[in-house]
Amino acid sequence: MVACLLFFGTGCEQFGSVPKGSRLELISQSKNYDQELSQFVNRRPKILETMGEGHGFWTNPLKRLTHNFFFNRNQTEPLMALPEDRGLVGSDFLDSKNTIKFIWLGHSTILVSMDNKIILIDPVFSQSASPLEGFLNRYQPPALSLDQLPKIDYILISHDHYDHLDMKTIKKFKDKDVKFISPLGVASHLESWGVKASQIVERDWWGDVNIDGLSFICAPAQHFSGRMGPINKMKTLWASWIVRGKTNSFYFSGDSGYDTHYKKIGQKFGPFDLVFMDSGQYNIRWKAVHNMP
């Protein structure tokens, strides 16, 4: 009972908000939106259905029990903390005229310095990647705390899953002079957490925006979205991103499985000076939505 009260008291706000009204009417015109299903889809609309083929829990429950979340016999936790250098954010990092510098903060959170602008990608600084504290805890704190970050110019978001879009972190920036750049629909979450509409730029796949000499190009990914499990899923778009400066560029894949978009992105916008790729998701049941090793 206490757990339920905690969940509905703290978890509901974490769910954010899905697009409604005029925003929904606008994004439903996207080529990537299926109006019959009332949701976004991948280039191969039924690719997610293939993930469970031959690998679902009920195909062999006894066998799956040895490999599920609670009974996994494999080594699934780090044996030691990853090495850190917390002294990297100084004047040398901030001075990035005609170059790119970056600091990996953990998971998909990356701090990028490019053309003397600071970009924070998929910022997650909370302990849990879950609507309820204590579930899906991180193994190691971010390499830098929020208080140690330099002034952020742009926050770049790939999709709305909890390990990429963190309500508590977003709220820390909602009253700061920062631009939020996201795929279609994610603004509904941001605004429900207090971010002003004037701070947000949304783009569809292959759409772009130029701000202060940097070009942000929203590119495809093969994934899915949603913050309430099977409820209200796929209501916001997922994406990868290309960022181009005066002389350099980088690509951030977000979460994605393999598909033709990688080749198209490389042919159209490559080569890149830096590429940040989703990797290391070894569970075969995720084969369509993550890059397998």
- C-alpha 188/C-alpha 16 separation (Å) is 7
Place 232 in a pLDDT band, splitting at 50, 70 and 90. Answer: confident
Q: Are 225 and 238 in contact (CB under 8 A)?
A: yes
The pLDDT of residue 122 is 99
Q: Return the half-sphere exposure (C-beta side, CA atoms, 13 A cut-off) of residue 253.
A: 21
Domains defined for the chain, CATH in brackets: 91-286 (3.60.15.10)
- Reported as a single tens digit per residue, the pLDDT across 42-59 is 999 999 888 766 655 556
Q: Are 142 and 148 in contact (CB under 8 A)?
A: no
Q: What mean pLDDT do residues 104-117 have?
A: 97
Q: Are 103 and 89 in contact (CB under 8 A)?
A: yes
Given a cut of 50, is residue 4 above it in pLDDT? no
Place 10 in a pLDDT band, splitting at 50, 70 and 90. Answer: low
The pLDDT of residue 247 is 95
- Reported as a single tens digit per residue, the pLDDT across 118-149 is 999 999 999 988 887 777 788 899 999 999 99
- C-alpha 19/C-alpha 26 separation (Å) is 10
pTM of the model: 0.90
The pLDDT of residue 62 is 58
Write out the H or E segment, with its range, that includes residue 250: strand 249-252
- Reported as a single tens digit per residue, the pLDDT across 35-94 is 999 999 999 999 988 876 665 555 665 565 555 555 566 667 788 888 888 777 888 999
Place 1 in a pLDDT band, splitting at 50, 70 and 90. Answer: very low
Q: Write out the DSSP string of 53-93.
A: TTTSGGGSHHHHHTTSTTT--S--S-SSPPP--TT--SHHH
Q: What mean pLDDT do residues 178-198 have?
A: 98
Given a cut of 60, is residue 6 above it in pLDDT? no
Given a cut of 80, is residue 251 above it in pLDDT? yes
